[in-house]
Amino acid sequence: MSFGKTLYATENPELFAKFTPLIEEYNKAREEQIKNYDPEFYAKCKDTVAPAEQLDSEPINALQYLEKLLTPSELVIVNEYSIKDLLDKQLDKKLTAVEIINAYIKAAIISQFSTNCGMQFLIPEALSKAKKLDEYLAEHGKLIGPFHGIPVSLKEQMNYAGKQTSASYVAYLKNIPKESGVTIQILDKLGANFHIRTAQPQAIMWLDTGNVITGRTRNPVSTRLSPGGSSGGESACVGSHGSCIGVGSDIGGSIRAPAAFANIFGLKPTTRRFSLMNGLSGGKGQESIVAVQGPLARSIEEMEYFTENYLNEGKPWEYDPLCVPIAWNTKVELPKKIRIGVLFDDNLVTPYPAVTRGMESVVEKLSKAGEDFEIVDLSKYWYSEKEMEEIYTMNIGLYTCDGNKVQLGMFGESGEPLEKLTRHFLNFDGGVERSVYENRMFNAKRDSLKVEMFNKFFKGLKLDFILSPTYCGPSEKQENSLYWGYTSFWNLLDYPNVIFPSGVVHDDKIDTIDKLAGPLKSNKYEAMVWKKDGKVIYDPKDYIGGPVALQLTAERFHDEDAVACVKKITKVLGIERR
């Protein structure tokens, strides 16, 4: 990643040159750690995994490399055993925490070669903890907690005591926090074993993942595509079985787009349920749209298990005064007939044909599932194109309402080159600084929308949930995730969402331009996604291998209901653990 012909205000090649040795040292340390873990395995990975140029240009499924590089017993651990399986097998003395973490360290190294998912490995620490966990089990005859020996990956922006934590800002490569984030502390206490910290994009505000320090991250199911962002390192790692479960964050779609692009499960909880304390970001002090942390998982059951135990056993509100003291409801009772409002199109940006096909496929299967589901088409109730344009413009403007002062200050410290999607984000709402009055009026509008969603849709239409696309396309091309509206709308309103695979994958022979549900709209966001120089640029061959995942939304603080409903939906669809 290098400087363009026209420098952004904060870009400074001379200043940045002083940081390049730090970047080189950082990457060398990561490479040496995975090489020193097992030099023979490292060499085998290097010889087996396709070179970067091929991975970037071809739709390669990274999962194929597991069978080529792991032993049969390791393959069973990372491919077949769920969290509960791993816990049971440790209790039954059929597996040790050391055996589990070694299998996942190898899988994460394979993922690093194929997807470039990692910022930093924690191999010595993970091996040491696994040994201590095995000793604890041998001495006490019980597990230390609900995550005993479970390999968990972490988005790198979460502070980790004693480890470089940059959140992909070059200027923060020297930042070594003394205290880990609250979520890390809780998971550590409950027995989780951290072996890798994963990549996020520059600015942490892309629906893609790439940064100046470690480069671009790839999609695990089709490597030339984007893994989503900003938790794209997590989706790449979890999606390629490099970890059992991962923790990401979301302020505009950063858990949901990655989960969707990698064809796995993701939860964006209602705000203040997970702790954000002790993390690094460029959104300091911004409370109009509050970020959340949440899991990315390979099954809805594991996502439920993780969240239930994080909340009910971890009790984050005892560590973080900003967390709401609401335990996970383990006794959810769904209605006998679940009433789901279906939004095929948000009336601002038209979904790609594969997404519409995915929505139609799921709706058809739910409609035929006996008396369990009632479908309500929301097209005649939803906001108009003009209303959605106003809402989305306000939505993205709230991210940059300080005129990007915090972000630009962090970039200015290193003079690092700014990438295409960083510039795209900085130009939200023109990047203008809004007055306190304007910000307050935006907040008032936001709150009125929250109430309207509750009164008009959930109560007025008697909806239990809303089903919608996660993104306007299947897994997106790299550096092309421009429109956030299908996810950021729900950040604005602070309603929880669960992402799940639809079972549909983009097909370049089927999902052609003539399959559009209707004519393209006239607004600027539609043009941004669909056109260049006034001409439609959609090419179905660009999205080969890209899965379609959908988004189920519940009322605020009804996160458990959404998870329970997705469990029921995936049974109807026949969606199994990824």
Mean pLDDT by 10 residues, the chain (578 residues): 80 98 98 98 99 98 99 99 99 99 99 99 99 99 99 99 98 97 99 99 98 99 98 99 99 99 99 95 90 99 99 99 98 97 99 98 95 96 99 98 96 98 97 96 98 99 99 98 99 99 98 93 98 96 98 99 99 97
Q: Which residues are annotated as a binding site?
A: 204, 230, 251-254
Class of domain 338-573: alpha beta
CATH 3.90.1300.10, the chain: domain bounds: 16-318, 338-573
Q: What distances in angstroms separate CA 80 from CA 72, 73, 299, 335, 514, one per listed residue?
A: 11, 10, 12, 33, 40
State the pLDDT at residue 8.
87
Q: Which of 168, 222, 249, 254 is catalytic?
A: 254
What fold does the segment set 16-318 form as a domain?
Amidase signature (AS) enzymes (3.90.1300)
Q: Is 168 in the active site?
A: no
Q: Is 367 in the active site?
A: no
State the pLDDT at residue 1.
63
Return d(Cα 296, Cα 262) in angstroms, integer: 10
Minimal CA–CA distance to 523: which of 343, 402, 404, 383? 383
Q: Which of 155, 268, 521, 567 is catalytic?
A: 155
**In sequence order, which residues have a C-beta less than 8 Å from that of residue 537 and are 6 or more positions away?**
530, 531
Minimal CA–CA distance to 393: which of 352, 434, 450, 451? 434
Q: Is 230 in the active site?
A: yes
Structure tokens at 195: 């072996």
Q: Which of 153, 230, 299, 488 is catalytic?
A: 230
State the pLDDT at residue 43.
99
